[in-house]
Amino acid sequence: MNNNFKDFNLNKDILKSLNNLNYKKPSRVQSEVIPSLLKKENVIVKSKTGSGKTASFGIPICESIDINDNSVQALIVAPTRELALQIKEEISLIGRLKKIRCSAIFGKQPIKEQITELKQRVHIVVATPGRIIDHIGRGTIKLDKIKFFIIDEADKMLNKGFIEDMETILSRLPNESIKGLFSATIDENISSICNEYMRNPVTIEIKDTEKEISKKQIIEKYIKVETENRYEILKKIIYSECPNSLLIFANTKDNVIDLYNKMKKDKFLVQQLHGDMSQDKRLFIIKDFKENKFNILVSTDVASRGIHVDDISLVINYEVPRDKENYVHRIGRTGRQNKFGKAITLVSQKEVKYLEEIESYTGFKLNEIEKIDEYKIEYGKIKLKENKKNLLKIRKDKKVEKEINSDVTRIYLNAGKKKKIRVIDIVGTISNLDGINNEDIGVVEVKDLCSYVDLLNNKGNTFLKKYREITIKKKLVKVRRDNKS
């Protein structure tokens, strides 16, 4: 097993990015998958949620990218917009110092904006199936230079709803492209597609070791409820467990809204997430949840595959999921990155059969909570009030900033395509400024009304102190730090 990312003989810029991201040593899935993909082997990977799967394919993809070739060289498909954006974010950070550009393409986003973005230098695309097929049909994305094709959450992507889309994409890929399927669960749909489209795939299954089985990362329990007392039981669990961060799943949008309204009325620091919300609103809520601006999120299964928050201490299934695979993905939101978590499921008499199906599917019998300690409930009420007060104080008094790549500064320019500014114009202007050369300029994005530039090698702060404005194509352009990145 590789104990250090240097053992993979990676590009120095990728190693530097991994160090900046605080990736200390490869996880088990990364140790097994990265060498296979670097050797150009097709892979089928079964590994639990939160084990580091994204980096296990993101690192070898970034290593293989030829930044001098502006073609799309890797395509990753994911079932939800949230997951596509999170994969894009992680891969962009891994490839940032190598100047790799990654774009996320999904529905309910203006296709004209996506077409414009794809015309710029894009090396990696992360997409939802329907939208990528739309682009393939329009000829706005070409697959002839694809080196890697990855299906994330393959159990979801290869079910009846998506399988035709997947076959459409797979049939158009170059024969020599490397294919990877990643999932927490593997079923017959996955096996079937692998036999047809993958040459000699290597199957990698990350099983729990005996030590991990005896010390399970996620404690799974259930509690019996009646329909009329479900909400009261939920509150007692929250008070007795007193979690730092809590994700609650309900089966429908209406139930999420109803539960959210009840919890808001009871003064919980709570937000809601469901598919009828706008994309911007959903992303805003996920960002705030990650930044601890509230500590309880009530969601439909849209969050079971789309939220990567490493410190969710408790997941509650307000209702038993009807799809047993969704149970695995729901509880996988806790106990991530070798941390420990807890999942509690509320079960009515009508839902017992669904719980039994889950237990049969996972091969694990859940322990019942027979009684909730009243002392813990009273103590938890006090502690939760204190936690809420602290979170509100953080929200009010302090902006929490996360410096990921400390030697990279993202610069905002208030000019873009509408002023006929191109990437080459920005690079030409900035590289001719005193103390900055081509090697110091990273990824450049040109939008309609503005542009963004990554300044590398710790040059950003000096640049911002020296310049408030620069002249590009005889136009005076204001510059400032992009605080939204």
Q: pLDDT digits over 104-130, tens only?
A: 998 877 888 888 888 888 999 999 888
Inter-residue contact 147 to 73 (CB < 8 Å): yes
Q: What is the mean pLDDT of residues 330-346?
A: 80
Asked if the model's pLDDT at residue 209 lies above 50, the reply is: no
Exposure b/e, 107-135, CB count within 10 A at least 16 = b: eeeeeeebeebbebbbbbbbbbbebbbbb
Asked if the model's pLDDT at residue 399 lies above 50, the reply is: no
The pLDDT value recorded for residue 317 is 95
Q: State the Cα–Cα distance between residues 12 and 15, nearest whole angstrom.
A: 5
| Stretch among 70-79, 133-142, 155-164 having the lowest mean pLDDT | 155-164
Distance of CA 159 to the CA centre of its chain: 21
Asked if the model's pLDDT at residue 339 lies above 90, the reply is: no
Fold of 5-205: Rossmann fold (3.40.50)
The DSSP bridge partners found for residue 258 are: none
| Stretch among 79-88, 179-188, 465-474 having the lowest mean pLDDT | 179-188
User: Is it true that 5-205 and 211-397 share their CATH fold?
Assistant: yes
> In sequence order, which residues have a C-beta less than 8 Å from that of residue 287 and are 6 or more positions away?
none
pLDDT over 90, % of the chain: 35
Q: What are the φ/ψ torsions at residue 41 (nearest 5 degrees)?
A: -100, 140
Quick one: which H or E segment has residue 244? Answer: none
Confidence of residue 400 (pLDDT cuts 50, 70, 90): very low
Q: State the Cα–Cα distance between residues 137 and 168, nearest whole angstrom.
A: 11
The CATH number of 409-481 is: 3.30.70.330
Q: What sign does the dihedral 12-87-321-167 (CA atoms) show?
A: negative
Asked if the model's pLDDT at residue 210 lies above 50, the reply is: no
Asked if the model's pLDDT at residue 372 lies above 50, the reply is: yes
The pLDDT value recorded for residue 160 is 58
Asked if the model's pLDDT at residue 211 lies above 60, the reply is: no
For residue range 151-165, list pLDDT tens digits in order: 988 777 776 567 788
Q: What is the mean pLDDT of residues 135-143?
A: 90
Confidence of residue 298 (pLDDT cuts 50, 70, 90): very high
Unique residue bearing structure tokens 């170059």:
174
Q: What is the mean pLDDT of residues 325-330?
A: 83
pLDDT over 70, % of the chain: 88
| Stretch among 348-357, 387-396, 406-415 having the lowest mean pLDDT | 387-396
Q: What is the mean pLDDT of residues 198-218?
A: 66
**What mean pLDDT value characterizes the chain?**
84
Q: State the Cα–Cα distance between residues 425 and 311, nearest whole angstrom.
A: 43
Asked if the model's pLDDT at residue 447 lies above 70, the reply is: yes
The pLDDT value recorded for residue 125 is 95
Asked if the model's pLDDT at residue 398 lies above 60, the reply is: no
Asked if the model's pLDDT at residue 237 lies above 80, the reply is: yes
The pLDDT value recorded for residue 216 is 62
Quick one: which H or E segment has residue 107? Answer: none
* Domain range annotation of the chain: 5-205, 211-397, 409-481
Q: Ranked by mean pLDDT, which of 171-175, 186-190, 220-224 comes out on top?
A: 220-224
Inter-residue contact 31 to 7 (CB < 8 Å): no
Confidence of residue 395 (pLDDT cuts 50, 70, 90): low
**Nearest CA among 415, 414, 444, 416 for reference residue 428:** 444
Confidence of residue 84 (pLDDT cuts 50, 70, 90): confident
Unique residue bearing structure tokens 């509100």:
392
Q: State the Cα–Cα distance between residues 64 and 59, nearest whole angstrom.
A: 9
Asked if the model's pLDDT at residue 213 lies above 60, the reply is: no
- Class at the top of the CATH hierarchy for domain 211-397: alpha beta
Q: State the Cα–Cα distance between residues 199 and 194, nearest whole angstrom.
A: 8
Asked if the model's pLDDT at residue 299 lies above 70, the reply is: yes
The pLDDT value recorded for residue 257 is 94
**Nearest CA among 87, 218, 121 for reference residue 427:** 121
Return the CA Rg of the chain.
Answer: 24
Using alpha carbons, list the distances in angstroms from residue 197 to 73, 172, 176, 484: 19, 11, 11, 41
Asked if the model's pLDDT at residue 65 lies above 90, the reply is: yes
Confidence of residue 279 (pLDDT cuts 50, 70, 90): low
Q: Provide the residue type at 212 as one letter.
A: E
Inter-residue contact 400 to 439 (CB < 8 Å): no
Give the global pTM.
0.68
Q: What is the dihedral of CA 205, 210, 214, 218, to 10 degrees?
A: -20
Q: How many helices (H) and strands (E) does the chain have?
A: 18, 19
Confidence of residue 402 (pLDDT cuts 50, 70, 90): very low
